[in-house]
Structure 1
Amino acid sequence: MNLVEWLQRIMVGFGAAWVMWLMIALSVVSVAIILERAWFFWSLRDDLTVLARDLKTSLDDSIEAARRRMDASPSAEAAVVAAGLAVAHQGPEAAEEAMAGAAALQRMKLERRLAYLGTLGNNAPFIGLFGTVIGVVGAFDALGQAAKTPVAQATSQAMAPQAVMSSIAEALVATAVGLAVAIPAVAANNFFQRMIKSTLANTEALTRVLLAHLKIDPAFAGAAPAAAVEQPRGKAARASRQDEHKKGGAGEEER
């Protein structure tokens, strides 16, 4: 027995049913991931227009007000801005780096398990095609078996044997199952990828709002944690200047 005959016997012996069971199992996992990701994105929903407006308003008040507003939002955009607000007292550069790192972490959370959907959507049709090939091999094997006797050969010439029709139907079902599994996975993956791009674009817009405030007003960056430190220094400096002015005035009177 050569290699081709050995592989043919294995394919005919197992049939294409196991391929379809495999596809069904993969589709169950795919549906579970789609539902989990849909719930995850739904839990992050927020009105970004209102959030951006509130961020600008609260930044005009104080960093603490902006931080409270961002903490109240469940969105990924607010989590990134909150990371920048946490280090805003260190300057715009520190805030920008912190938000870049937070955005990378949020992107990983948003893209979690989507690689499975993309892989399944790309390869499910090929798995179904593999089942189709097995079915076609079974159909030709049935034709070969039917043609071994003259009576069966005459019958096969008039009408395809039932085994051949069954194998062809099995092959077509495998193709249909592969497409049925691939289409929802591809559609869901594209939808979620689009939502990720939109989220990252909104995140970039909100981070620019914060960086604009920090760069326009450098004192604003240190207002929250450094106000208590800078204020005594400012009073001491003013008192020192007043003493110097008095001493200067006294020196002029002596002269």
Structure 2
Amino acid sequence: MQALDLLRQGDAVTQATALLLLAMSVASWVVILWKLRLTWGARAQLARSVAAFWQAPALAEAPARMAAFDRRALARPLAQAALAWQLAGAGPGALGGQGSAAARLTRALRGALHGVLAQLQFGQVLLATVGATAPFVGLLGTVWGIHHALSALAGAQQVTIERLASPVGEALVMTAAGLAVAIPAVLAYNGFGRATATLEAELEGFAHDLRELLAGPPG
């Protein structure tokens, strides 16, 4: 209740700053929870799904075997792209169906890999932006709050430390709020960045193995 009272007592700039920090916090926590759900156990699932692929008797049966393990759909899109390439063959007319078989397979795997990586990297820019800007937004609220408090006290006949401490302390809360928004975003950005880099390396290795299996080594 005290935070709401402070928000109601502030002017439009203070309220807008507080609402901006609240929006940044909500957005970053939504992304954090979504990415936790996406990456939790993803490395183990990826290893099991890749193992299921190599145990399949044929490429046509591999995506179905992987589905039981790849609940996040990380490696399965690559296998499905390889199967679609195998079934399509060279198509007449369209540029996408022309060229060597290896080139067409590379395009198919690259497109599937980019789609999976875009899913893994979703929200990283938002977390980086919140982590970098939230402290300065809180500092803006602090500076403006102190300015507002001093302006209100300027016309007072008697200024005591007690009268000055309360509004200045309330303004400093904005700095703490900015840090409270920024710190989880920075920690999440670093943690998810490491997890994404590990998954990306494993997926690129799987795509390379698929290309060598179906089209032979490049060159």
Q: 2: CA distance between counterparts of 1:16 and 1:43?
A: 42
- 8 Å CA contact 1:81–1:206 kept in 2: the answer is no
Amino acid at match of 1:186: V
Partner of 1:48: 46
Partner of 2:32: 34
What is the CA-CA distance between 1:43 and the residue it aligns to? Answer: 8.1
- 8 Å CA contact 1:127–1:178 kept in 2: the answer is yes
Q: 1: CA distance between counterparts of 2:20 and 2:216?
A: 60
Q: 1: CA distance between counterparts of 2:201 and 2:86?
A: 21
Q: 1: CA distance between counterparts of 2:67 and 2:13?
A: 57
Q: Deviations over 1:78-113 (max 9, x none)?
A: 222321232135443322210101111222222333
Partner of 1:79: 77
Taking a change above 3 Å as real, the CA distance of residues 95 and 13 of structure 1, as seen in their structure-2 partners, is closer
Identity, % of aligned pairs? 31
Partner of 1:63: 59
Over aligned residues, Cα RMSD in angstroms?
A: 2.7
Taking a change above 3 Å as real, the CA distance of residues 49 and 33 of structure 1, as seen in their structure-2 partners, is closer
Taking a change above 3 Å as real, the CA distance of residues 166 and 21 of structure 1, as seen in their structure-2 partners, is farther
What is the CA-CA distance between 1:13 and the residue it aligns to? Answer: 4.7
User: In terms of Rg, which structure is larger?
Assistant: 1
| Structure that is richer in helix per residue | 1
Q: 1: CA distance between counterparts of 2:147 and 2:187?
A: 32
Partner of 2:199: 199
Unaligned runs of 5+ in 1: 1-11, 218-255
Task: Give the number of aligned pairs.
Answer: 194
Give 4+ residue runs of structure 1 displaced > 6 Å after superposition.
Answer: none
Partner of 1:176: 176
The answer on 1:114 being equivalent to 2:114 is: no
- 8 Å CA contact 1:71–1:82 kept in 2: the answer is no
Taking a change above 3 Å as real, the CA distance of residues 216 and 40 of structure 1, as seen in their structure-2 partners, is closer
Amino acid at match of 1:184: P
Q: Deviations over 1:22-59 (max 9, x none)?
A: 3223312322222123223348564333333333333x
What is the CA-CA distance between 1:174 and the residue it aligns to? Answer: 0.4
